[in-house]
Amino acid sequence: MSDHTELIQQEAIRILQILINTPFDECCPLSKDYADLPNRLGIYAVKHRKEGILYIGKAANIRTRFTGGHKAISWAYVERIDPDDIRICTVVLSNEWRRSQLELETLMIQTLKPRYNIRIRAEE
């Protein structure tokens, strides 16, 4: 395994642990403008109060990603999940991770297998 691959795996695990372990009440609630979400490059998780992570994604600008709509939120609506039980957890990435963002996201999805990542990929 190359040093680069090992570094990516370590960072994916570190970020995934942050997303999993961040208390629900410290995550950003759903809103119209998502003003509390970072306007930066990062990895995010759509979390359910009891079920945990429903979806993991990446974005060049996390706030813009949600203000433009998001399929995971649509799935939660269709499944009639109470909006108060859904929050967004974020980890801002430094620019050095920009090129590795997809690899980080892929490793985290493969590890956790969030239910909405599976459904959304199946529809595409």
pLDDT band at 28 (very low <50, low <70, confident <90, very high): very high
Residues 28-38 as b/e (b if ≥16 CB within 10 A, e otherwise) read bebeeebeebb
Tell me the C-alpha distance between 122 and 82, whole Å.
24
- pLDDT bucket at 42, cuts 50 / 70 / 90: very high
pLDDT of residue 4: 82
In the prediction, which pLDDT does 2 show?
A: 83
Of 31-35, 37-41, 76-80, 116-120, the range with the lowest mean pLDDT is 116-120
Alpha helices in 22-100 (DSSP H): 62-67, 71-78
Domains along the sequence of the chain with CATH: 3-123 (3.40.1440.10)
b/e burial code for range 1-23 (CB count within 10 A of at least 16 → b): eeeeeeebeebbeebbeebeebe
Q: Is the pLDDT of residue 59 over 60?
A: yes
Mean pLDDT of the chain: 92
Residues 23, 3: Cα–Cα separation, whole Å: 32
pTM of the model: 0.91
